[in-house]
Amino acid sequence: MDLQQTLSELTSLPIKDRLRIVESLWNSIDAEAPVFISKEQREELQRRIERHEKDPCELLTWEQVLDGLRDRR
């Protein structure tokens, strides 16, 4: 299998199909699989956790997140 050719073919699909593929791939990853993150990613996660703990009410609903993404388009 040629990964570059596969990626090229996948990226030519309509967005709806690409999203379904992404979801399917994500769901295929075992929840117990180890995840390796960089030092910078770990620091960012810690920063976000601390921010949330300071103000747990500062959350967005999924609909608000989607609306914000749509507004950027």
The alpha carbons of the chain give a radius of gyration, in whole angstroms, of 17
43-48: long-range pairs with CB below 8 Å, 24+ = none
Read off the pLDDT of each residue in 62-66 and give the average, rounded to a whole number. Answer: 90
Q: How far apart are alpha carbons 51 and 53 in whole angstroms?
A: 5
- Give the model confidence (pLDDT) of 15-62 as tens digits: 999 999 999 999 998 888 888 999 999 999 999 999 989 988 888 888
pTM: 0.46
Model pLDDT, residue 15: 94
Contact 52, 58 (CB under 8 A): yes
